[in-house]
Amino acid sequence: MIRNLAYKEINQVYSTPILQQTAFWSKVKENQGMSSIALNFRARKRELIVDGDQESGYLDSDILILLRKIDSRHSIAYVPYGPEVEPKDEKTGEFLEDLSEQLRSFLPKDCIMIRYDLAWRSLWASDTDYFDHEGNWLGPPERRLQELRFNIDTQHWNFRKAHSNILPANTVFLDLNRSEESILDRMKPKTRYNISLSYRNGVEITECGTESLGVWYELYRETALRNSFYLHSEEYFRIILEEKANDTESPAQVILLIARHNGLPLAAMFLVISDTRATYLYGASSSSKRNLMATYALQWRAISIARERGCVDYDMFGVAPYNDSSHPMHGLYRFKTGFGGEMHHAMGCWDYPLNEDLYSYFTAMEMNQQGYHV
């Protein structure tokens, strides 16, 4: 299935809407202490990509792999939202096994596993058995059944579902090809009302640079403490804001937006544009003046900027898989789905062990730790 696998320069990584598969993301991670490699490959269309027709030939693609040391003697290969090329459902395991086996010779000798954080649509996201009577997706089956289906037609039955995902496996995509009126019409009435309310009450949105990073970080720190999530350093965000990768084939635009009322910062976000997609990568808000609904005005301004700059879709980047009030991301689900758009349920993280004993040790340790954040 996979042919002509070969190294390529990071600067030559193809332009793609998938931010985490760009040269920009590689450079961000390099500045944060992580190395990466990129490889080209070809996949036969008839066998893999094109379903139900006789199209021949090959599809050229590439893959960005981040390399992370887990101790002084071992590393893992992490593929964030890649590979981009997505096979037919029935070819998923076979395709990824072929790629994994060919990758062995390109990875460091101390690499114990490949972890694919797959953005591909979940194999169970189109199966009516996994939806309730109201149309809510119930999520995939237990890990054993997931692995059984994923490994069908593989030679080694080696794929394991990771115990947790690193990047969000569920998101909402807005179609920006629609008119502004159509986008507003698809929103829930309360969302439209809150956008209008925020602007009527004098909330102002400004595009900012590194000079406002301290403002962002105070809002972010407050949000992290309020919601008990992992706290990155201020330097982590400085690197993202300053890196453009303009000398590459896959750069990105990074825009820091801050919502203020009478000069007081109420909410902020990182909007990142890669190819034709805008991504709501990070967000933060104050506990003050929440009645002004600043986060709604902030999102609407981000959507407008994305349309102005030629984007065709907008990734809300991370929600609960369905409307479950007990889920820790339920608040994000209610907020983000209010803007309309379509839910996307991805495959999430899948591991391909290269050293079985060390892989078992690593995953046992991982379950007792916070994991890592990229």
CATH architecture, domain 2-169+346-366: 3-Layer(aba) Sandwich (3.40)
Between strands 75-80 and 111-121, the pairing is parallel
- Kindly state the tokens that stand for 162: 């990771």
pLDDT in tens, 179-217: 999 999 999 999 999 999 999 999 999 999 999 999 999
Residue with the bigger pLDDT between 328 and 265: it is 265
Write down how long the chain is: 374
pLDDT value at residue 51:
54
Radius of gyration of the chain (CA): 21
Nearest-angstrom CA–CA distance, 244 and 76: 27
pLDDT in tens, 110-164: 999 999 999 999 999 988 899 988 888 889 999 999 999 999 999 999 999 999 9
pLDDT value at residue 152:
95
**Confidence band, pLDDT 50/70/90 cuts, at residue 23:** very high
> What value does the mean pLDDT take over residues 70-84?
95
Percent of the chain with pLDDT over 90: 80
Least confident interval from 42-56, 81-95, 198-212, 257-271: 42-56
Domain 177-311 falls under CATH 3.40.630.30: yes
Least confident interval from 36-50, 81-95, 134-148, 198-212: 36-50
C-alpha distances out from residue 337 to 58, 173, 329, Å: 37, 9, 12
> What value does the mean pLDDT take over residues 230-259?
95
Domain with CATH 3.40.630.30 in the chain: 2-169+346-366, 177-311
pLDDT value at residue 62:
97
pLDDT value at residue 374:
46
